[in-house]
């Protein structure tokens, strides 16, 4: 049989796909033990994708109603939770049963429910609850994903994260605080994974560009007590940074500089510059310009540290190439890039010794490091 590639033609892969898609083949597969396992597994996995939006909404309801916190001290009955929530007992049980179905809760005797290990972790991960509650904005942006892909929608996320548009002095202080708090809560986990992936031995002065209220530098300060630290971010963020760093006793330890990396000079006395969850907020031209600017600011032998969720590139990732890819698309300014792509950008700017160490948890963050030639 001759196969022709191209739209409307026939290829070996196309022929096989059409055979698998035939109802008669599916009937045949379900009759044979060897094929039946594949057919059932594929069907279950497809349905798991189909119901994914319901799972996320069940999670949203559990967190909105503080169900995990209500179960932290031990199992609670459906009737007791129903009274506390002000929701009909049958519907309360429906939600709890769903929570057990997705592995966050477990059902006990006498219609009581308790937390699983995963459910308890949900309470303990810094910033996770706030991130889940914030997803109501993302859900609305994803209501019509085809329109989103075509660029036909005005997304809410673009308004939630105003800094990526280079906004100046007219940002609402309430938005500033929401932005800074959400970033700081999630940044601790990113910081710990980053510092577990790379060592900063030999660095005397680290400048964190776009560092928000200083969550990353606060973690660096714990591991490297002798290192000089500078936080660089927009002037509107400095009030939140002052407050947070004062609260953790680091006001005198971490210098703060208010400015925009687009138009203001970067700190020029640092031998290492970090970009923690910065690049994926911005378009290609802004990223290229920023990396070039950092290269110019660093001394010979200076290091660049980049840490953020990255695309799997040639090996698509089930989280970063789904969640983060569409999240950044809804933000309308940036995109997820693979470690290989970021490495190429660094090399183009003049860096060498570019490394992409294996991430601790790729769904939290991946790392690229580079050195300015001496």
CATH label of the domain that carries residue 193: 3.40.50.150
User: Quick check: 69 pLDDT over 90?
Assistant: yes
Q: 358 near 367, Cβ under 8 Å?
A: no
At residue 227, the pLDDT reads: 98
At residue 5, the pLDDT reads: 44
At residue 20, the pLDDT reads: 62
Indicate whether 210 belongs to any domain: yes
pLDDT tens digits, 202-229: 999 999 999 988 999 999 999 999 999 9
At residue 25, the pLDDT reads: 59
Indicate whether 10 belongs to any domain: no
- Give the chain's radius of gyration (CA, Å): 24
Q: Which of 86-90, 155-159, 361-365 has the highest mean pLDDT?
A: 86-90
User: Quick check: 32 pLDDT over 70?
Assistant: no
**Cα end-to-end span (Å), the chain:** 61
Do residues 256 and 154 share a domain? yes
Do residues 81 and 148 share a domain? no
Do residues 103 and 141 share a domain? no
User: Quick check: 355 pLDDT over 90?
Assistant: yes
Q: Domain ends where: 124, 153, 188?
A: 124
Do residues 307 and 328 share a domain? yes
Q: What is the mean pLDDT of the chain?
A: 88
Mean pLDDT of all residues in 258-275: 95
- Residue 175: pLDDT band (50, 70, 90) is low
Least confident of 35-49, 202-216, 274-288, 297-311: 35-49
Indicate whether 6 belongs to any domain: no
Mean pLDDT of all residues in 153-179: 62
User: Quick check: 267 pLDDT over 80?
Assistant: yes
Q: Round to whole Å and give the CA distance between 220 and 210.
A: 15
Mean pLDDT of all residues in 75-103: 97
CA 171 to chain centre: 24
At residue 108, the pLDDT reads: 95
Q: Domain ends where: 69, 103, 124?
A: 124
At residue 315, the pLDDT reads: 94
Q: pTM for the whole thing? A: 0.84
Domain containing 108 equals 52-124
Do residues 160 and 120 share a domain? no
Least confident of 27-31, 68-72, 303-307, 352-356: 27-31
At residue 112, the pLDDT reads: 97
Mean pLDDT of all residues in 26-40: 62
CA trace torsion 82, 87, 88, 92 (10° rounding): -60
More confident residue, 164 or 27: 27
At residue 75, the pLDDT reads: 96
Residues in the chain: 374
Q: Domain ends where: 62, 90, 124?
A: 124
Q: Among candidates 190, 178, 219, 195, which has minimal Cα distance to 369?
A: 195
Mean pLDDT of all residues in 239-262: 93
Do residues 238 and 111 share a domain? no
- Residue 130: pLDDT band (50, 70, 90) is confident
User: Quick check: 2 pLDDT over 50?
Assistant: no
One-character DSSP codes across 157-221:
HHHHSGGGGT--TT--HHHHHHHHHHHHHHHHHHHHHHHHH---TT-SEEEEET-TTSHHHHHHH
Q: Which of 24-28, 127-131, 259-263 has the highest mean pLDDT?
A: 259-263
Task: Name the strand (E) or helix (H) holding 230.
Answer: strand 228-233
State how many domains the chain has: 3
Indicate whether 74 belongs to any domain: yes
pLDDT tens digits, 319-345: 999 999 999 999 988 999 999 999 999
At residue 344, the pLDDT reads: 98
User: Quick check: 162 pLDDT over 70?
Assistant: no
């Amino acid at each position: 049989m001759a196969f022709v590639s191209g739209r409307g033609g026939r290829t070996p892969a196309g022929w096989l796909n059409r055979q698998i898609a035939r109802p008669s083949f599916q009937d045949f597969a379900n009759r044979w033990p060897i094929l039946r396992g594949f057919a059932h597994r594929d069907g279950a996995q497809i349905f798991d994708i189909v119901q994914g939006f319901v799972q996320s909404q069940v999670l949203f309801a559990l967190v909105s109603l503080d169900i995990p916190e209500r179960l932290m001290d031990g199992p609670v009955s459906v009737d007791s939770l129903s009274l506390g929530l002000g929701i009909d007992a049958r519907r309360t049980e429906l939600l709890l049963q769903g929570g057990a179905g997705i592995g966050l809760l477990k059902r006990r005797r006498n219609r009581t429910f308790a937390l699983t290990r995963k459910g308890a972790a949900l309470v303990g991960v810094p910033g996770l609850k706030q991130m889940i509650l914030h997803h109501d904005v993302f859900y609305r942006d994803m209501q019509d994903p085809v329109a989103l892909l075509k660029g036909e929608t005005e997304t809410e996320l673009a308004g939630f994260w105003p800094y990526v548009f280079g906004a100046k002095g007219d940002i609402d202080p309430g938005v500033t605080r929401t932005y800074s708090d959400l970033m700081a809560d999630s940044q601790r986990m990113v910081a710990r994974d980053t510092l577990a992936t790379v060592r900063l031995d030999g660095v005397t002065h680290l400048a964190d560009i776009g560092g928000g209220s200083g969550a990353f530098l606060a973690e660096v300060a714990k591991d490297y007590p002798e290192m000089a630290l500078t936080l660089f971010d927009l002037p509107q963020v400095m009030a939140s940074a002052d407050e947070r760093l004062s609260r953790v006793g680091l006001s005198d330890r971490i210098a703060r500089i208010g400015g925009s990396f687009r138009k203001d000079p970067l700190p020029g006395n640092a031998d290492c510059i970090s970009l923690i969850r910065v690049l994926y907020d911005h378009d290609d031209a802004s990223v290229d310009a920023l990396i070039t600017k950092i290269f110019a600011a660093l001394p010979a032998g200076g290091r660049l540290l980049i840490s953020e969720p990255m695309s799997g590139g040639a090996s698509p990732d089930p989280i970063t190439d789904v969640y983060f890819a569409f999240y950044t698309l809804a933000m309308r300014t940036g995109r997820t890039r693979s470690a290989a792509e970021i490495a190429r950008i660094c090399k183009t700017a003049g860096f060498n010794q570019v490394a992409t160490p294996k991430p601790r948890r790729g769904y939290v963050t991946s790392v690229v490091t580079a050195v300015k030639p001496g």
